[in-house]
Amino acid sequence: MQALVVDDHALIRSGLARLLSEVFDGISVIEAQNGDEAMDKLASTTVDLAVVDLFIPGEAHFSCARRLCDAFPRLTVVIISATENPAYIRKCIDIGASGFIPKSFSPEQMTAALRDIMAGRVFIPQTLLGVVPAAIAGKGDVPPGLTRDQITSLLTPRQLEILALLAEGRSNKAIARACELSENTIKVHVSAILRALGLGNRAQAGLLMQKLGTAEPPPP
């Protein structure tokens, strides 16, 4: 496994590199101080995980993370930041990041978050779980009245499978791996699911399944 740490501070890069080496056995860590350097290294090296600072001097907020997510859709991108602004966290997830880790986290908390992300789940700080999903989901609610039978009639078996994985909080990358499909195909399915169920975004889809009392798809 190989990881990339992107931060303009050498001390933070070395600290994160050391933490990653303690979390994942046999990991190799490379470093970059800005988006251009990160893109150059990713173009010549296969990387599984990128830990990226949200605020890099000389770059617009989110620009580095967005470039990495867009250019390397199979790359797991994790954002770290001193801010815990829910709007920023929402934006990071929207552009394709698999998690947001505050710099205020202890090494133990960062370790748990990184393991969670590499297991295929989207990570949001526990202290913000009551705020961020509402921000992601717009009004934080789902249209009333949908039953399991109605969902079954509206979606294909593949879409039901993807919906169940959404309810587990998995990222598009993780769903793509689980379903053995491309990430672009998963994005198309997710859009179709949202249209069919009359939902605004993926967070509402997950909330709907949770309200139905299960993360398992309805029977075909």
Q: Is the pLDDT of residue 104 over 60?
A: yes
Q: For residue 143, is it within any domain?
A: no
Examine the domain organization and report whether 111 and 156 are in the same domain: no
Q: For residue 94, is it within any domain?
A: yes
Q: How many domains does the chain have?
A: 2
- 97 touches 78 (CB < 8 A): yes
Q: For residue 128, is it within any domain?
A: yes
The per-residue pLDDT for range 12-52, each reduced to its tens digit, is 999 999 999 999 999 999 999 999 999 999 999 999 999 99
Query: Where in the sequence is the domain holding 175, given as residue range(s)?
Result: 148-211
Q: For residue 219, is it within any domain?
A: no
- The CB-based long-range contact list for 124-129 (8 Å cut-off, 24+ gap) reads 124/89, 124/93, 124/99, 124/100, 125/84, 125/89, 125/100, 125/101, 127/84, 128/84, 128/86, 128/89
Query: Where residue 142 falls among pLDDT bands split at 50, 70, 90?
Result: very low
Q: For residue 140, is it within any domain?
A: no
Q: Is the pLDDT of residue 144 over 60?
A: no
Q: Is the entire prediction scored with pTM above 0.75?
A: no
The per-residue pLDDT for range 169-190, each reduced to its tens digit, is 788 888 888 899 888 888 888 8
Examine the domain organization and report whether 115 and 8 are in the same domain: yes
Amino acid making up residue 137: A
Q: With pLDDT > 70 as the criterion, what percentage of the chain qualifies?
A: 84
The enclosing domain of 162 has a CATH number of: 1.10.10.10
Q: For residue 141, is it within any domain?
A: no
Examine the domain organization and report whether 123 and 197 are in the same domain: no
Query: Where residue 136 falls among pLDDT bands split at 50, 70, 90?
Result: very low
- Per-residue tokens: 64: 């580095």
